[in-house]
Amino acid sequence: MGIFFYTPSFIHAQSAKQYISYGDEAMRKGDCYNAAIYFKQGLRKFEFNLEMEYKYAEALRGYNDYKNAADAYKKVVQDDVTHEYPMAIFWYGTMLHYLGKYEAAIAQFKKFQTRYKEKGYYRDKAQQEVESCSWATVNARDTTQLKIIHLPEGVNTSYSETNPFEDPNGHLLYSSLRDQSTNKKKPKFLARIYQSDSAYMSSKIFVIPGTDLSQHIANGAYSPDMKRFYFTVCEAAEENKSLLRCDIYISYVKHDTLIDAKKLDENINYKGATSTQPNIGINEKGEEILYFVSDRPGGYGKTDIWMSKILKDSGYQDPVNLGAQINTEDEEFSPFYDSHKHKLYFASNWHYGFGGLDIFETEIKHGEWSIPRNLGHAVNSSQNDFYFYESADRSKNYFASNRKGSFYIKSETCCNDIWMYETGTKIEVPKRVDTSEVKITASVKVDTPETKTPASMQMDTPVTRITAEVRIDSSEIKNTIAVNVGTPTNTIAEVKREAAFVPPSTALVSHADTPRVLIDKTITRIKQLLPVTLYFHNDEPECCNLEDTTTLNYIYTYQQYWNLLDKYKKEFDKGLAADQKTAADQAVFNLFTDKVEKGFRDLVQFSAQLVDLLQSGQKIEITIQGYCSPLNYSEYNIKLGYRRIASLRNYFYHYRSGILMPYIDSGKLVLKNESLGKERAAKNVSDNREDTRNSVYNPAAAVERKVEIISVEIK
């Protein structure tokens, strides 16, 4: 493994290449913190070395120093005149998202879309980020109040703590990665499960008999009857010894003690893949289900959530992917099934959120998962929030987060801690024997490390692909449960989606118990957005025909339109003096940002509110009108107006994998449309086809080419 935690004080290098070489070597070992130090020292001598600046930004991102990473990426974006580092724009936007700067993040992702033409994950992710940030700008204003409590130093340290759960007696257990060596000169960091006292003032290691203490042990979970204990053991991956591959184990509880652990069979622990984060729930049929996270083949993205029915003979059915309603192109994490409410809680960094991983809930009815619902700004932050867990008496909800306020040395968002809030409700839980005092179950008391841990001992959380639980490198220990798979580089790779599982059709979900005050609040929000106005390039979609429909989705026409920004500037300032060109370019820029982009963002917010209303049981009727500039004859313009409406209808049909279609098919959502052609176009707009500067590229003409959602009626 090499020597841990060597921090360079100064490098007597003679060239920029030597600084880069030292930094690259540290990055290859996963030591992002020391790599950042190498690159930073190099930049003091070679201030304008763009390669070093980019790698410095990557290293900062590698240990979740969002603020400094954003500053470093910004410098690269400003200095990269030859567009050598297109990913700098993407990651700059990502860091701004994680800092809660949603408007600025949107601008960077839009810029990335104009520069980066490759199809695949990054283009998909950039579009998702635009929509997610637009969603967050509205939902971050949620005034719901919850007192979020940061657990004290008896639990949290300047390392990372994750995976909160309870033992049979209500004691909090959690996972953390700390030095287990008795020789402080040769630290050995291993993941362990810890048990806290009832007041969270001290913790002790929870040792499971029969486990190899040279391995990493984390992510514990009891079965609902407390007769089985599941956990994860990790070992070095064959293809890369600096990464860990994890398997799920089980230990049975016999006479109130844990007996020797064993690894689950290969139908759960797929050979060569990681299987982790087990959780057991009881479904509506009374069946026990094992939920877990894996990067095994057949998923939708990087890590997916899978489920397996537990059989009466202690076997496990072949795992089934939870499907596209939940799993995405990116990371899904930390499932927790509430067997009382029959809800699944999980974390994702793809579904609309406030930044990083957010916690979501979904429920299954008649074999279908509902649309995941973000737990809201009261719980989720713009950083990583995951590992939701509800206490047995339902009085407390725990989760892990690297939000500001967590203990740290390197950066204020580097590391995860355990957080909690009270629910205001409580049920009686049958008293159980305190298994922490049984002789066979070994619990070793350890001193809680002081907060002022040396900087080089601070753990990091995942940034890119996450496929294992703990990452061990020659000088850096990663997060207790998740690992950065591969060093961040300037290489742009497409994520393949090998979906062996065909997801079920979207269910019509109705939450009739939604409080009226929340329904009224959503109605107010959606009506405040009206009219939602969406703009089109001349003769689009599908120019020059008399069809009144199209197969194109509005998202496509919007993206194509946005790519014409520079052309609009060029055409509209033709023949103008220098001082007039500046004003003309500004007018075009305002058209695209204040009209075209704003319209799309309003549509994203409108759609999210629409789903909430439909799920609350409302019947909704939407009226859409289509308009054109006066550039063509009446029949053509009317047909064009209908094509524009059709593109918006296609957007609704395909929105979030078709979640609106059951409501449309059942008549719960009615889309009314009307094409007005050029009837309401401004009289001073040019209709001269020879004068395209004024009839096509003039912002005054462009604002006439639109569709509007003009009304929403709640039936």
Domain limits for position 616: 516-714
pLDDT at 456 over 50: no
**Residues 185 and 332 placed together within one structural domain of the fold:** yes
In a domain, 667, yes or no: yes
**Residues 77 and 161 placed together within one structural domain of the fold:** no
**Residues 226 and 293 placed together within one structural domain of the fold:** yes
Burial of 80 (0-12, 13-18, 19+ CB in 10 A): middle
Pairwise pLDDT comparison (8 vs 541), residue with the higher score = 541
User: Over pLDDT 70: what percentage of the chain?
Assistant: 82
The pLDDT of residue 461 is 37
**Residues 111 and 158 placed together within one structural domain of the fold:** no
Query: Which of 85-99, 241-255, 525-539, 563-577 is predicted with the least confidence, judged by mean pLDDT?
Result: 241-255
Query: Which of 28-42, 430-444, 581-595 is predicted with the least confidence, judged by mean pLDDT?
Result: 430-444
| Nearest partner of 350 among 413, 292, 303, 419, judged by Cα | 303
The pLDDT of residue 30 is 79
The pLDDT of residue 484 is 30
Cα 636 to Cα 558: distance, rounded to the nearest angstrom: 21
Query: pLDDT tens across 649-706, in order?
Result: 999 998 877 889 999 999 999 999 876 644 454 555 566 767 889 889 999 989 988 9
Question: At 373, which CATH number?
Answer: 2.120.10.30
In a domain, 297, yes or no: yes
Question: At 54, which CATH number?
Answer: 1.25.40.10
The pLDDT of residue 242 is 52
Instruction: Name the pLDDT band for 505 (thresholds 50, 70, 90).
Output: very low
In a domain, 635, yes or no: yes
In a domain, 683, yes or no: yes
pLDDT at 446 over 50: no
Question: Are the beta carbons of 219 and 231 closer than 8 angstroms?
Answer: yes
User: Over pLDDT 90: what percentage of the chain?
Assistant: 48
Instruction: Name the pLDDT band for 638 (thresholds 50, 70, 90).
Output: confident
Beta strands at 620-627 and 669-675: parallel, antiparallel or unpaired: parallel
In a domain, 53, yes or no: yes
The pLDDT of residue 181 is 84
**Residues 159 and 120 placed together within one structural domain of the fold:** no
Beta strands at 396-401 and 417-422: parallel, antiparallel or unpaired: antiparallel
Final residue of a structural domain among 109, 139, 169:
139
Give the end-to-end CA distance of the chain in Å, rounded to a whole number.
Answer: 66
Task: Name the E strands within 428-527.
Answer: 443-445
3-state secondary structure at position 621: strand
Question: Are the beta carbons of 475 and 63 closer than 8 angstroms?
Answer: no
The pLDDT of residue 631 is 57
Mean pLDDT of 50-77: 94
Query: pLDDT tens across 381-400, in order?
Result: 999 999 999 999 999 999 99
**Residues 192 and 126 placed together within one structural domain of the fold:** no
Query: Which of 41-50, 499-508, 672-681 is predicted with the least confidence, judged by mean pLDDT?
Result: 499-508
Final residue of a structural domain among 110, 139, 168:
139
Task: Give the count of domains, the chain.
Answer: 3
Instruction: Name the pLDDT band for 237 (thresholds 50, 70, 90).
Output: low
| Nearest partner of 94 among 129, 50, 135, 51, judged by Cα | 129
Cα 715 to Cα 710: distance, rounded to the nearest angstrom: 16
Highest mean pLDDT among 6-10, 69-73, 541-545, 632-636: 69-73
The residue whose two tokens read 């509880």 is 253
The pLDDT of residue 101 is 95
Cα 381 to Cα 6: distance, rounded to the nearest angstrom: 33
Final residue of a structural domain among 84, 119, 139:
139
**Residues 85 and 153 placed together within one structural domain of the fold:** no
Strand partners of residue 535: 706
The residue whose two tokens read 């009739």 is 512
The pLDDT of residue 169 is 85
**Residues 278 and 399 placed together within one structural domain of the fold:** yes
Query: pLDDT tens across 527-562, in order?
Result: 999 999 999 999 899 888 888 899 899 988 898 898
In a domain, 1, yes or no: no
**Residues 194 and 114 placed together within one structural domain of the fold:** no
Mean pLDDT of 600-618: 88
Query: Which of 53-57, 255-259, 500-504 is predicted with the least confidence, judged by mean pLDDT?
Result: 500-504
In a domain, 674, yes or no: yes
**Residues 127 and 172 placed together within one structural domain of the fold:** no
Query: pLDDT tens across 162-220, in order?
Result: 999 999 888 999 999 888 888 877 878 889 999 999 889 989 999 899 898 889 999 99
In a domain, 105, yes or no: yes
CA atoms within a 13 Å half-sphere pointing along the CA-CB vector of 326:
33
Mean pLDDT of 56-70: 94
pLDDT at 521 over 90: no
Mean pLDDT of 615-636: 80
Whole-model pTM: value is 0.69
Pairwise pLDDT comparison (345 vs 435), residue with the higher score = 345
**Residues 271 and 306 placed together within one structural domain of the fold:** yes
**Residues 121 and 256 placed together within one structural domain of the fold:** no
* Average pLDDT taken over every residue of the chain: 82
pLDDT at 151 over 90: yes
Highest mean pLDDT among 90-104, 250-264, 495-509: 90-104
DSSP code string of 594-606: IIIIHHHHHHHHH
pLDDT at 14 over 70: no
Residue 536 neighbours by CB under 8 Å, 6+ apart? 557, 561, 644, 705, 706, 707
The pLDDT of residue 709 is 95
